[in-house]
Amino acid sequence: MGFLLEHTMKRIWQDEWKQYQRLVKKLTEQNDLSILENHDRRGYKDYHLDHIVPIQQGFYMNINPHLISSLENLQFIPHVDNMRKSIQLTGKSIKLLNKWGIDIQQRKSEWSMSWKDIRYLQSKTLNILNERQLSNQVLQKENEMLQKENEMLQKENERLRKLVDLMKEGYYQHRVNVNKRRYTTH
């Protein structure tokens, strides 16, 4: 059950990350990037558009995507420098975070969970999974009971059809006998 829990939590985190990343990139491209220095040198092996406060750090610290995609947080830097920087916070990014009124230490403590918090989330997730498993078992039993009831009804229906057929056959036989008597007695 531990693997399932970890897998579920990882999927939820990945989905949220992808949504955040898509939104930031969309908002970033809506900016007029031509006002940034070195915009005319943008290219795969030349200059890259850099988020001073990296997108991933913005996601980790729960920073509004509009701030991460703002022109204030964008610059064109040589691609080598951008690759080297990766998702690290630099002096420039820390100054920008302070300017935005974001306390890095507080944000880090907010998103770094204690083991107690993790255990609580695990137990809640396990409870949800167990409830789903139990409700699935109950539904499966109900389905089995309905199938048995359906089989019984089909057998009863078949029995009644045979009875009706016998009754029809008996009625017709009776009519034949009555008609025979009528013609033989006259």
Backbone angles phi, psi at 76, to 5 degrees: -100, 125
Structure tokens at 102: 């974001």
Tokens 């890095």 correspond to what residue? 104
Q: Are 76 and 36 in contact (CB under 8 A)?
A: yes
- What's the pLDDT at 30? 95
Give Cβ neighbours of residue 181 (< 8 Å, ≥ 6 apart).
none
Taking the CA atoms of 7, 9, 12 and 15 in sequence, report the sign of the dihedral they define. negative
Structure tokens at 67: 């701030």
pLDDT digits (tens, 9 = 90+) for 44-71: 889 999 999 999 888 888 889 999 999 9
The angle, 0 to 180 degrees and rounded to 10, between the axes of the packed helices 2-29 and 115-185 is 100
- What's the pLDDT at 1? 47
- Name the pTM for this structure: 0.55
- What's the pLDDT at 9? 65
Residue ranges for the chain with pLDDT beneath 50: 1
